[in-house]
Structure 1
Amino acid sequence: MSTYKVFVSTGIHEFGEMTNSIYLTLIDSNDQSSDRTLVNKTFLSSFETEISFDICVKDDFGDIVQVKLEKEKHLVNVQWFCENIKVKAPSGKCFEFPCYLWIADDEVIIREGTARLPQDDPEWLKKQRREELESTQKIFRWSEGIPGYPMCLEGEVPPEVRFDADKSSSFKWNSVKAAVDAVVLMLENCIHPLKDLADFEKILEDFEKILEDFKIDNNLRSVRQYWSKDYMFGYQFLNGCNPVMIRKCVELPDNFPVTHEMVEGFLKRGVTLQEELKAGNIYIADYKILDGVPTSSSQLYLAAPICLLYKNRLDKTVPIAIQLSQNPGEKSPIFVPSDNEYDWMLAKMWVKSADFIVHQLVTHLLKTHLISEVFEMAMYRKLSAVHPVYKLLKPHVRFTIAINSDAREKLISKDGVFSKISSIEVAGMDKLMQSAMKTLTYESLCFPEAIKARGMEDLPKYYYRDDGMKIWETINCFVSAVVKIYYDSDEAVQNDTEIQEFFKDVSFGMNNSDKFQKPLKTREDLSEYLTVVIFTASAQHSAVNFGQFDWYACIPNGPSTMRKPPPEQKGQVDMKYIMESLPNLECSSLVFGTVWDLTRFQKKELFLGMYPEMCFTEQPVKEAIENFQINLHEVTNSIKSRNEGLTTKYSYLSPNKIPNSVAI
């Protein structure tokens, strides 16, 4: 007989103790099993994290390739968290079994931690992999969800992807959030309505002092002081919440009849508008996607504006013309900076209000949250837990299904927050999402290609682009290194049935599969595809999520809705009209509290490059992860150095502030 030493760990998890009996069985490479061994009937109190015991087997027992855990049900069936299992053979060889699962079922089989492609497994393990995936697909079932949206999970969120205790507790208000509650309460119970923009200014000034006491970094002061300036308005197209709307304009749209005479006074190089267009100094933000989107009420309004911007001699990008509809004419004047102060201010507010809607529903919800859920669903459905790509992606889809389930219930439902704070409700959201899905392609998710497609390669002070390219290249370098460890040739990619099925399932989940049918034929193809998955879930989400409080807490800077229609002629607007157009107190307070909540990191946030759940056991991958962390640290330092010279800092793509996954 031979004796194997077994170490079972739960880590430190609330409710991780075991009240049900757990039995463990070793399975070797010849499909032989040890006797079923009781781990511990009263396994692990909240103060214990590891237990060890011996298992005796026959001398001809081979390498340990699997561990089977069986949970015996009692009157109360309690889930149990297993972090990892290590088995030490008499020869001294150690076998690792990363788990990181809440065990709810009667039986769970865990593969030895070495990542393996399906074609490299013996037949009996291939069969088991297929059975594992068939079982998982019964849990993670596709649902059409909302027509026109990407597909999503059908039914309740499975235990293995629900929030853990730490994440759940992070949603509870902390002391800083209590301060937000106080401000919101003050707003909601304010006796007098907001009469002037200075009222918004006073609220922000008071709250800024609270943030200083808690030493929370933000750009609130810069936004509060300079939001009405043209240069700050233009800056936000580059480095605000929605830095993906601006594109180079080489030819004016037919429905935007801006003439040289209209903007001549704002073109500081002494050349014509046409010459500035040819020189690449003119940019445009067009919100035609909002044209025809129904509003939720006859008392709320929505526009589909077009904004022309100019890169001046100081390399600042400033607005020079705004049209508040897609239909030019007498009732849709083109506003310019030399117009009446209030006309120009309101025109910019209308652009920012449109930007708020598109940002929240398209740039943020669709292109990070919902897309990442498709990736997560396909990963669980088509990749075995022992597949290297499963191990690679798992940290980057953490909690995404769970947070999206909450979003569908609390944010974009009929009575959800977005219906309360914006000009559109479910019907409008659906129409907007359907339009956005028609333009969604695989290429649009590739950061370098997306930048190039908008002609934004050279515009100065575009920190979103500069930092994003560094992050993209760093992730791609890491992913490429991992891919080469497991795929020794392009043929290995083509022969990997699981990765090919994963790719097809993503296309299916996107509801427009023809736009995601880029064949995975080479290791380079696979590396780029996985970079898209990780970048979208980490960096892109961070770029469009964590600036919301900075830019939207100042309500006039990004009105979530407008209560008066767009002006149809110039010279009719005053401050009273502007205040009556902006969101009221109730709406403003809800926006204020919501964007604060959506931009907080959780207590134990896992940032890009942090992998406390080490699913990989092979040394080459661990070295690749270490190099990844070193490279990310260098990017963090370069961004920190750059920001030291900026009044309005750009930190949303600093790796030390990029969570691993879409989880808020």
Structure 2
Amino acid sequence: EYVMQHWKEDFMFGYQFLNGCNPVLIRRCTEIPKKLPVTMDMVECSLERNLTLEEEVKRGNIFIVDYELLDGVDANKTDPCTIQYLAAPIVLLYKNLENKIVPIAIQLGQKPGPDNPIFLPSDATYDWLLAKIWVRSSDFHIHQTVTHLLRTHLVSEVFSIAMFRQLPAVHPLFKLLVPHMRFTIAINTKAREQLICECGLFDKANATGGGGHVQMVQKAMKDLTYSSLCFPEEIKAKGMDSKEDIPYYYYRDDGIKVWEAIKNFAEDVIHIYYESDEVVCEDVELQAFVKDIYVYGMRGVKASGFPKTIKAREKLAEYLTVIIFTTSAQHAAVNFGQYDWCSWIPNAPPTMRCPPPTEKGTVTIEQIVESLPDRGRSCWHLGAVWALSQFQDNELFLGMYPDEHFVEKPVKEAMAKFRKNLDEIVNAITERNKNKKLPYYYLSPDRIPNSVAV
């Protein structure tokens, strides 16, 4: 409801890059790219510090989101009655004096030119609104196919298959990981049969259906690196790590707390079973597990940064943290907010029925309505985002281990400590969210299922 009332506002548009269901794309802009020829004249009225655009960039107040991945992806042609369109926008955002992130320029294509204008907040109301709607639609496509499908569901399946293939059920790492693989292969099989298959939901409702989603996954594989799955590293690489600088990035704040809690738990368990780095090196089943992920999951691509072997306890702790965090917290962060953010269609259109505008001053409200999805596709979309946002009746949340795989007392103590740490995080998040119009709770451990199961 809040989204429905405020979706047109620039603050709401900017807020979603930090705390919506796709909070992983925004990065600090260190240099305005040549393909986005923004001038000071264009954005002067949006800047609040009496600095030039260049100075604002140097101060770290400018942010960018680039949907380059969508460039060249084929739009859905499965329905001859409805022509569908995709765009590959670039968005420039600004941290204003209230520390809010707001958009200051939007270009809807990757190649600058007279038929690819840069839309500004100072433009006609409908020009600016339609440009933002196009960005929201592009964001939806990247979110569903890359952030959600590839980087949580499919990656978790790689971990899951390698575990079942290489680790015997008596192995301590099997016991540690198996709760985080619960139902993952099953849910992905269901997705292949109902969502991403021919005539599945993607084909029915999304502009990336009919093969575009496959092109996107293939293109996104080059950015699927080990370091990009290490939560604190990825946040830092994007220049988004300073809490003083960007105070309202709750996805980052909560994510780092959960990452640390998981890492401490993984370290505790590893130190029980591995007395030294040498023991890690000599564990042939562990090494086979790591190699399986590298060879079959990452296709042996060195640039992925995934290790072929693990030789130290510290590295093993990080590796297990990547697996547990991705299958639990990362999936929760990008999955369970879908109904909140995507159920109001203009805020996340799954397809667009008119091409992106190529000139300013021509957009009408009728054109905006005609661009948005028809009722049929809207209904398919609504059903999907509602279903994907539901917890299961018998959901097991992070730290809940009802199946007693471990019998050793030290591990049970480590689990109790893990649960205590998670409870403290829940309390801190609950306290912060008090009286907030827009509470952020997707990374509260009591709302993070153990595994990718929906």
TM-score (normalised: structure 1): 0.66
Deviation at 1:511, TM superposition (A): 3.5
Rounded Cα–Cα distance in structure 2 between residues aligned with 1:534 and 1:511: 18
SS of equivalent residue, structure 1 residue 329: coil
Are 2:419 and 1:622 aligned? no
Kindly indicate whether residue 247 of structure 2 is the aligned counterpart of residue 460 of structure 1.
Answer: yes
- Which protein is bigger by CA-based radius of gyration? 1
Q: Displacement, 1:284?
A: 0.3
How far residue 306 of structure 1 moved from its aligned partner, in angstroms, is: 0.1
Question: Which residue of structure 2 aligns with residue 262 of structure 1?
Answer: 42
Match of 2:400 among 610, 617, 626: 610
Inter-partner Cα distance in structure 2 for 1:509 and 1:230: 44
- SS of residue matched to 1:656: helix
CA distance in 2, matches of 1:425, 1:256: 28
Deviations 1:366-392 (A, max 9, x none): 000000000000001000111100000
1:589 paired with 2:379, answer yes
1:449 match:
233
Aligned to 1:511: 298
Report 1:513-662 matches (<5 A): 513=300, 514=302, 515-518=304-307, 519-662=309-452
What is the alpha-carbon distance in structure 2 between the residues aligned to residue 350 and residue 275 of structure 1?
Answer: 29
How far 1:331 sits from its partner (Å)?
Answer: 0.2
Give the corresponding residue for 1:410: 194
Match in the other structure for 2:287: 500
Equivalent residue for 2:5? Answer: 225
Question: Where does residue 481 of structure 1 map in the other structure?
Answer: 268
**Residue number in structure 2 paired with 1:425:** 209
Report the alpha carbon displacement of residue 516 of structure 1 after superposing the two structures with TM: 4.0
Contact 1:305 1:323 in 2 (8 A): yes
Question: In 1, are the aligned partners of 2:11 and 2:100 still within 8 Å (CA)?
Answer: yes
* Structure 1 residues 588 and 517: alpha-carbon distance in aligned structure 2, compared to 1, 3 A threshold: closer
Kindly report the root-mean-square deviation, in angstroms, between the aligned alpha carbons of the 2 structures.
Answer: 0.9
Deviations 1:99-119 (A, max 9, x none): xxxxxxxxxxxxxxxxxxxxx
- Residue in 2 aligned with 1:364? 148
Superposed CA deviations along residues 289-339 of structure 1, whole A, max 9, x for unmatched, are: 000000112710000000000010101000000000001000000000010
The one-letter code matched in structure 1 to 2:355 is P
The Cα offsets for residues 454-474 of structure 1, whole Å up to 9 and x where unpaired, read as 110122200000000000000
Query: What's the secondary structure of 1:353's corresponding residue?
Result: helix
Is the contact between residue 202 and residue 210 of structure 2 (CA under 8 Å) also seen in structure 1?
no
Aligned residues with identical type, % of pairs? 57
- How many correspondences in the alignment? 444
SS in 2 for 1:560: coil
d(CA) in 1 for partners of 2:190 and 2:85?
Answer: 27
Q: Distance in 2 between matches of 1:509 and 1:644?
A: 46
1:419 Cα offset (Å): 1.4
Query: 111, 115, 127: which one pairs with 1:327?
Result: 111
Q: Which residue of 2 aligns with 1:382?
A: 166
Contact 1:412–1:426 under 8 Å retained in 2 = no
TM superposition shift of 1:424: 2.1
Q: Deviations over 1:631-652 (max 9, x none)?
A: 0000000000000142111000
Partner of 1:5: none
Which one of 286, 289, 300 corresponds to residue 69 of structure 2?
A: 289
- Which structure: greater strand fraction? 1
Cα deviation 1:187-206 (Å, max 9, x = unaligned):
xxxxxxxxxxxxxxxxxxxx
3-state SS of 1:284 partner:
strand
Within the candidate set 16, 21, 26, 1:246 is matched to 26
**What is the Cα deviation at residue 509 of structure 1?**
2.6
Alignment of 1:168-183 (within 5 A): none
Q: What is aligned with 1:84?
A: none
Question: Per-residue CA shift, 1:81-109, capped at 9, x if unaligned?
Answer: xxxxxxxxxxxxxxxxxxxxxxxxxxxxx
The more displaced of 296-305 and 449-458 is 296-305
DSSP-derived class of the 1:308 partner: strand
- Deviation for aligned residue 1:572: 0.8
* Pairing 1:279–2:59 present: yes
**How far, CA to CA, are the matches of 1:264 and 1:323 in structure 2?**
17
Distance in 1 (alpha carbons) for counterparts of 2:128 and 2:291: 49
Alignment of 1:78-89 (within 5 A): none
Q: Matched residues in 2 for 1:376 and 1:347: separation?
A: 41
What is the distance in 2 between the residues matched to 1:596 and 1:265? Answer: 40
Are the equivalent residues in 2 in contact too, given 1:507–1:516 (CA < 8 A)? no
How far the C-alpha of 1:418 sits from its partner, in A, is 1.3
Superposition TM-score, scaled by structure 2 size? 0.97
Q: Which moved more, 1:416-425 or 1:330-339?
A: 416-425
Letter in 2 for 1:358: I
CA–CA separation in structure 1 for the residues paired with 2:285 and 2:347: 48
Task: Report the counterpart of residue 259 of structure 2 in structure 1.
Answer: 472
Instruction: Report if aligned partners of 2:225, 2:306 keep a CA contact under 8 Å in 1.
Output: no
